[in-house]
Amino acid sequence: MEEQNEHGKEIKDDGIIQEIVEETVQHLNNPVTDLKPIVKKYLSAVQKVKKDGNKFYFSDGDARVEIRVVSDEIIRVRLAPHGVFLDDFSYAVPVVDQKVTTFKMEELEDHYAISTNTITCKIRKDDFHISFTEKLSQMVMSEDESPMHWEENIEFGGYYVYATKKCLPEENFYGLGDKSGNMNLRGRHFQNWNTDAYSFGWDQDPLYRTIPFYLGVHQQAAYGIFFDNTFRSYFDFGKEDNQKTSFWADGGELQYYYIHGPHMMDVVKRYQTLTGTHPMPPKWALGYHQCRWSYYPEKKVKEIADGFRSRNIPCDAIYLDIDYMDGYRCFTWNKNYFPDPKRMIKELADDGFKTVVMIDPGIKVDDNYWVFKEGKENNYFCRRSDDYFMEGHVWPGRCQFPDFTNPTVREWWGNLYKELVDIGVAGVWNDMNEPAVFGAGTFPNDVRHNFDGYRGSHRKAHNVYGMQMVRSTYDGLKKLMRNKRPFTITRAGYSGMQRYGCVWTGDNVATWEHLKLGNIQCQRMSVSGVPFCGTDIGGFSGEPDAELFTRWIQLGTFSPFMRAHSAGDTAEREPWSFGEPYTSINRTYIELRYRLMPYLYSVFWEHHRYGFPILRPLVMLEQENLSNHFRQDEFTFGDKILVCPVLEQGATSRLVYLPKGKWYNFWTHEVLNGESEHNIEAALDHMPLFVRAGSVIPEYPVMQYVGEKNVDEVLLNIYYSDYEVNSFLYEDHGDTFAYEQDIYSEKKFSVKGDQKKLKIEQSVDGLYTPNYELYNYNIIGIPFKVKKITVDEQDVLDFHMDERNCLRFKSNKNFMTIKVYGE
Ligand code: MIG
């Protein structure tokens, strides 16, 4: 009743509060009805200001707001309704403060202004409105429509917290991680609550993951908001009221980061400085993966493996779904299906296949099962509010669930992988970690979690449960594999999950609509800071026809994670299942993936090291072009290859939009001008691909799996350009963390031509030396007749133009300058 007394004091000077008290009393008298109070309380005029280092505290006499300068471009806002902030702990942001050049606060007539070199955060005195302005242009990027507000939560304590910003007439929105439907989020409403969404539909919400981060773009400039709140949260982008963008949550703190652009790319990179990037994956993880629910027994697994090798279709990984276990007990084997897993995994490895196995969170209640016994004895399983165990039915039957938000449990779980690692398992796939429970859907709200010591109910922990599970998996594998790079996949996650593994979009459907949707989902994940993402190629449920499967393989060639997967009750779904000409086309694209491996890997490095997204939607390339806000099916992989997937049944051509600059048709070498649309041939064997003029695209020889052969020659495809363009080639050991000690090779190429000459320069950084000796050059699009070539001023004697008018020659890998002279 203390709360009410406190309110009682205020009733005198604030009518609104009186209303709250009345509502509350009503609820207490009638506990059967919904306990949620209806009246919201808003911040009122600013009364006090205090500075503490890079934090500024503003108070309206009761509530307090903290404004923290995180970096020159990032400012964090927190609200404490009655003046007491929650503990400053986040699973998403391990370290809040970054480098700030300078910042200051000024008091002006009607507001306070906190500014860095690039942005100003204004706090209006009379109504506590907060806004963010770009300093240079004085443009208001994001501005409160009403002050931050909240409602008390009688049942659980704490508050429902709300922020409402202005939504400008021409503003568009992106991000939010895994959402279904169109890329542009304008005019829509979303909810975040990790959900097992089997066979989800277009616009279905919520799905499996929670990434409460969005980008807004208006007046050609972009900013981002990261609402770091793990409770069930909501976003409305001008749907309820087209002049308002709101976000709110069922608990926790109203805490968000304003992240400045002005380019969408800047926003994503800065978001990534807060939440981290994906570590370098083992190189084989970028190969083609074959999965199904499930391949068993051993004979079937071998048959699939042989199927790849005998047909010369490259493949790096084969998956064991839940049926490899003994009665779905994690960390056990069904010895009827797999009598000697160690031998099998070794034989697969000898043939170039990595074995990836599934591990679920549900542990069978069975006193003869060691994992259950250990968990029970050590009190590792989740409990209800009154101390009963959290029990639910999943694949093994009656289960209990480890509390992955407890660091001790994470460590225990991480070590459970020991035997799997010892027998040679190379990767782990974590499923059902929303967490999913048959019937009930998920855990009840009252389940308790350790939350790394910042205890909470399932309301607070639900959305991070999956992320903490894959974190435990990743950390465990990393230790057990003695610092080789682990490969992990997770279905559920929260912001920051990219530090622990890759993700697939869950149980999609074998339809053309889902091909379109998957294309958008991967791009959206990429701009939401989760770049290593893929769909179940072919669709999980239902059955694709041959054409759909092939188009999906083509798109999948440019998904950061490339894996075919299917539910068990469907027809066989391997790249050869549909006969010719499909098998050959599928092979060509999977081979293309392997040819481009050094490029894909370099793009991954750009992400890991510099925070660039891997897939970049057109709108991110040219946000100032309004039409791009409505184009959603093309993207670049890195910044050199533009991918225009074919998403329509029966299509033999498609319209593509090429961004600024000049682009080469990857297949024909035709040069096309950007900033315009083109109709491009797209027969079944032909997914339109374009390469930016001036690019250097490295290729390795096709291999049946990563590391099959020594790379003794690297092909450099150089696309002539009359303006200078830089490209990168990143190489390292492929499976260790030595890159953290600069043991890598980062080559930079610059290409610049004029009407009579082409100059290519190379510089090398890092301490790793690849063991090939030669570059094989393929220079495309030279507009003049070649008279002479020099490498570091020495003449190249042996060169020729091939049938596609490409200049070909070989030379030492360590050149500094190549010059091609025309007549
Ligand atoms: O209740 O392990 O999304 O990829 O094959 C279904 C069986 C459980 C759901 C996953 C799917 C996987 C399947 N799993």
Minimum-distance ligand 1 atom for the alpha carbon of 491:
3
pLDDT at residue 559, rounded to an integer: 98
Q: Ligand 1 pocket test: which of 395, 432, 505 has the largest number of ligand atoms within 8 Å of its C-beta?
A: 432
Contacts of 29 (CB under 8 A, 6+ apart): none
Identify the band that residue 813 occupies on the pLDDT scale cut at 50, 70 and 90: confident
53-62 burial code (b ≥16 CB/10 A, e <16): ebebbbbbeb
Q: Atom 6 (ligand 1): residue with closest C-alpha?
A: 432
Specify the DSSP class assigned to residue 643: E
Nearest CA to ligand 1 atom 11: 507
In one letter, which amino acid is 737?
F
Output the pLDDT for position 1. Answer: 31
> Does residue 62 line the site of ligand 1, with CB under 6 A?
no
452 CB-contact burial (10 Å; exposed 0-12 / middle 13-18 / buried 19+): middle
Q: At residue 27, does pLDDT exceed 50? A: no
Quote the DSSP letter at residue 118.
S
Whether residue 619 has pLDDT greater than 70: yes
Per-residue confidence (pLDDT) for residue 9, from 0 to 100: 34
Cβ of 362 closer than 6 Å to ligand 1, yes or no, is no
| Most informative mutation of 178, 196, 293 for ligand 1 (most atoms within 8 A of CB) | 293
Q: Which residues pair with 257 in a beta bridge?
A: 76, 226
Measured on CA atoms in the order 317, 318, 319, 320, is the torsion positive or negative? negative
What Cα–Cα distance (Å) separates residue 617 from each residue in 273, 498, 527, 630, 802? Answer: 21, 19, 8, 11, 34
Banded model confidence at residue 550, pLDDT cuts 50, 70, 90: very high
Q: What angle do CA 689, 694, 698 make, to 5 degrees?
A: 65
Of 44, 241, 244, 72, the closest CA to residue 150 belongs to 44
Q: Which two tokens stand for residue 361?
A: 């969170």
| Pairing label, strands 562-564, 288-290 | parallel
Mean pLDDT to the nearest integer, 793-798: 95
**CA of 294, closest atom in ligand 1:** 5
State the pLDDT at residue 36.
54
269 close to 610: Cβ distance less than 8 angstroms? yes
Question: Span 73-94, mean pLDDT?
Answer: 97
Ligand 1 atom at minimal distance to the Cα of residue 567? 5
Please give the pLDDT value at position 443. Answer: 98
Q: Is 434 in the pocket of ligand 1 (CB under 6 A)?
A: no
Phi then psi for residue 697, to 5 deg, are: -110, 110
**Cα four-point dihedral sign 532, 533, 538, 542:** positive
* Tens-place pLDDT, residues 463-482: 999 999 999 999 999 999 99
Query: In Å, how far are 463, 780, 789 from 720, measured between CA atoms?
Result: 49, 6, 15
Instruction: Give me the pLDDT at residue 575, please.
Output: 98
116 Cα: distance to centroid of ligand 1 (angstroms): 48
pLDDT number for residue 26: 43
- For residue 536, the ligand 1 atom closest to its alpha carbon is 4
Ligand 1 centre to CA of 198 (Å) is 9
Contact by Cβ (8 Å): 474, 411? no
Confidence (pLDDT) at 437: 98
Asked if residue 196 has its Cβ within 6 Å of ligand 1, the reply is no
Query: Predicted confidence band at 803 (pLDDT cuts at 50, 70, 90)?
Result: confident
Question: pLDDT above 90 covers what percent of the chain?
Answer: 94
Q: How far is the CA of 294 from the centre of ligand 1 (A)?
A: 10
Which ligand 1 atom lies nearest to the CA of residue 395?
A: 1
Cα of 128 vs centre of ligand 1, distance in Å, is 48
* pLDDT above 50 for 19: no
Tell me the C-alpha distance between 77 and 114, whole Å: 12
Whether 711 shows a pLDDT value over 80: the answer reads yes
514-553 per-residue burial string, b: 16 or more CB within 10 A, e: under 16: bbbbbbbbbbbbbbbbbbbbbbbbbbbbbbbebbbbbbbb
Q: Do residues 431 and 465 lie in contact, with contact meaning Cβ atoms separated by under 8 Å?
A: no
The atom of ligand 1 lying closest to the CA of 322 is 2
- The confidence band for 20, taking pLDDT boundaries of 50, 70 and 90, is very low
Q: How far is ligand 1, taken at its centre, from the CA of residue 431, in Å?
A: 7
Q: How does pLDDT run across 102-118, given as a tens digit for each residue?
A: 999 999 999 999 999 99
Q: Are 574 and 289 in contact (CB under 8 A)?
A: no
Site to substitute for ligand 1 among 194, 195, 431, most atoms within 8 A of C-beta: 431
The mean pLDDT value for 744-768 works out to 96
Give the closest residue to 563 by CA, choosing from 537, 581, 590, 525. Answer: 537
For ligand 1, atom 12, name the residue with the nearest CA: 293
Q: What is the pLDDT of residue 13?
A: 37
Angle, helices 458-480/407-416, rounded to nearest 10 degrees: 40
The mean pLDDT value for 740-747 works out to 96
Burial label for 132, CB within 10 Å (0-12, 13-18, 19+), is buried
Is this model's pTM higher than 0.85 or not?
yes
Please report the pLDDT score of residue 517 as a whole number: 98
**Cα–ligand 1 centroid distance for 558 (angstroms):** 24
Structure tokens at 3: 């709360």
pLDDT in tens, 269-325: 999 999 999 999 999 999 999 999 999 999 999 999 999 999 999 999 999 999 999
Asked if residue 320 has its Cβ within 6 Å of ligand 1, the reply is no
Euclidean distance between CA atoms 671 and 373, whole angstroms: 66
321 within ligand 1 shell (Cβ under 6 A): yes
In this structure, the residue with its CA closest to atom 13 of ligand 1 is 293
- For residues 809 and 818, the answer to whether their CB atoms sit within 8 Å is no
Ligand 1 pocket check for 694: Cβ under 6 Å: no
Please give the distance, rounded to the nearest whole angstrom, from the Cα atom of residue 734 to the centre of ligand 1. Answer: 30
**Cα within 13 Å of Cα(541), Cβ side:** 10
Average pLDDT over every residue of 185-195: 98
Distance 371 CA to ligand 1 centre (A): 22
Q: Largest Cα–Cα distance of the chain, in whole Å?
A: 95
pLDDT > 60? residue 22: no
The predicted pLDDT at position 534 comes to: 98
Cα of 88 to ligand 1 centre, how many Å? 36
Quick one: which atom of ligand 1 is closest to the CA of 291?
5
Say yes or no to pLDDT of 15 above 70. no
CA of 207 to the centre of ligand 1 (A): 14
- Centroid of chain to Cα 108: 42
Within 10 Å of residue 778's Cβ, how many Cβ atoms?
A: 18
The candidate with the shortest Cα–Cα distance to 65, out of 6, 122, 2, is 122
Location of structure tokens 């990032």: 74
Distances (CA, A) of 563 to 295, 409, 604, 687: 14, 30, 17, 18
Instruction: Determine the Cα–Cα distance for residues 763 and 728; give it in Å rounded to an integer.
Output: 10
Q: What are phi and psi of 110, to 5 degrees?
A: -110, 0
Taking the C-alpha atoms of residue 717 and residue 560, their distance in angstroms, rounded to an integer, is 21
Ligand 1 midpoint to CA 513 (Å): 21
Tens of pLDDT, residues 195-235: 999 999 999 999 999 999 999 999 999 999 999 999 999 99
pLDDT reported for residue 691: 98
Helix (H) or strand (E) holding 645: none
Q: Which amino acid is at 729?
A: L
Ligand 1 in reach of 674 Cβ (< 6 A): no
Average pLDDT of the segment spanning 155-164: 96
Count CB atoms within 10 A of the CB of residue 140. 16
Instruction: Catalogue all structural domains in the chain, each as residue range(s) with its CATH number.
Output: 2-30 (no CATH), 40-275 (2.60.40.1760), 615-691 (2.60.40.1180), 710-822 (2.60.40.1180)
Mutate to test the pocket of ligand 1, among 200, 507, 508 (most ligand atoms within 8 A of CB): 507
> So what's the pLDDT on residue 483?
85
Ligand 1 contacts CB of residue 293 (under 6 A): yes
| Span 318-346, pLDDT tens digits | 999 999 999 999 999 999 999 999 999 99
State the distance from the centre of ligand 1 to the C-alpha of 313, rounded, in angstroms.
Answer: 26
**pLDDT higher than 50, residue 532:** yes
Indicate the Cα dihedral angle 572, 573, 576, 582, nearest 10°. Answer: 120
| Residue 617 alpha carbon to ligand 1 centre in Å | 29
Q: Order of strands across the sheet with 786-791?
A: 725-731, 745-753, 757-765, 817-822, 786-791, 794-795
Ligand 1: which atom is nearest the Cα of residue 198?
A: 3
- Average pLDDT, whole number, for the chain? 95
Cβ–Cβ under 8 Å, residues 203 and 153 = no
Kindly indicate the confidence band of residue 814, based on its pLDDT and cuts at 50, 70 and 90.
Answer: confident
SS (H, E, C) 300-348: HHHHHHHHHHHHCCCCCEEEECHHHCECCECCCCCCCCCCCHHHHHHHH
227 C-beta closer than 6 A to ligand 1: no
Compute the average pLDDT of residues 438-461.
Answer: 98
Catalytic residues: 431, 434, 507
- The β-bridge partners of 751 are 725, 760
The answer on pLDDT for 698 being more than 60 is yes
Span 398-432, pLDDT tens digits? 999 999 999 999 999 999 999 999 999 999 999 99
Q: Is 134 in the pocket of ligand 1 (CB under 6 A)?
A: no
Q: State residue 30's pLDDT score.
A: 46
Atom 5 of ligand 1, nearest CA residue: 293
- Ligand 1 proximity of 507 Cβ (cutoff 6 Å): yes
Is any ligand 1 atom within 6 A of the Cβ of residue 396?
A: no
437 lines ligand 1 (CB under 6 A): no
**Residue 360 Cα: closest atom of ligand 1:** 2
Among 321, 433, 573, residue to substitute to test ligand 1 (most atoms within 8 Å of Cβ): 321
Distances (CA, A) of 622 to 177, 583, 616, 617, 636: 21, 37, 10, 9, 12
Beta carbons of 433 and 466 less than 8 angstroms apart: yes
Extended beta strands in 89-207, E state: 104-107, 111-115, 119-124, 130-134, 140-152, 159-166, 172-175, 189-192
Cβ of 506 less than 6 Å from ligand 1? yes
Atom of ligand 1 nearest to the CA of 568: 5
Our answer on whether the CB atom of 688 is closer than 6 Å to any ligand 1 atom is no
* Bridge partner residues of 163 (DSSP): 247
322 lines ligand 1 (CB under 6 A): yes
Residue 654 CA to residue 687 CA, distance in Å, equals 9
Ligand 1 contacts CB of residue 431 (under 6 A): yes
Classify 483 in phi/psi space as left (phi over 0), alpha (psi -120 to 50) or beta: left
Q: Name the percent of the chain in helix, strand, coil, to the closest 5.
A: 25, 30, 45
CB-based contact 714:776 (threshold 8 Å): yes
Phi, psi of 698 (to 5 degrees): -80, 150
CA pair distance 189, 819, nearest whole angstrom: 56
Q: Give distance in angstroms: CA of 205 to centre of ligand 1.
A: 19
